[in-house]
Amino acid sequence: MKLEGSALRLTIFVGESDSWHHKPLYHEIVRRAHAAGLAGASVIRGIEGYGASSRIHTSRILSLSQDLPLAIVIVDAADKVRAFLPQLDELVTEGLVIIDPVEVIRYVGRPADGSADGPSTPGGGR
């Protein structure tokens, strides 16, 4: 897949304990992004944060949270990202969904033979 130039970054902020049909919500979002053919997705675990509920969630030992903030980041062409948004309407009942314009400078995967000599790509794809 070639991805270069203008694109959109879709970021979904949810809680680690958020679920979809008894499975982690972040897993379902990544699964659907993959099925939709989006260029890549990464789940980033936050160490502290709060959202619309105004409750602070933290990984500090004295107040260890079971619901740390997560950010799922997806970058692809604008039309593909916008086509994916209706799925998020179904999945994300609490959280924040944002889109930022970005410029893709480099998007390179591993060689087709699967050797580990090539660099890994942003967005988690290899």
pLDDT tens, position by position, 78-125: 999 999 999 999 999 999 999 999 999 988 887 777 665 544 445 555
DSSP letters for 15-76: ETT-EETTEEHHHHHHHHHHHTT-S-EEEEE-SEE--TT---EE--GGGB-SS-EEEEEEEE
pLDDT at 53 over 90: no
Contact (CB, 8 A) for 33 and 74: yes
> For the residues 33-39, what does the mean pLDDT come to?
97
Rounded to two decimals, what is the model's pTM? 0.78
Q: What is the pLDDT of residue 118?
A: 46
| DSSP H or E run through 117 | none
Q: Which tokens is 48 given?
A: 């502290």
Q: What is the pLDDT of residue 2?
A: 79
pLDDT at 71 over 60: yes
Query: All domains of the chain, ordered by start, with CATH?
Result: 14-108 (3.30.70.120)
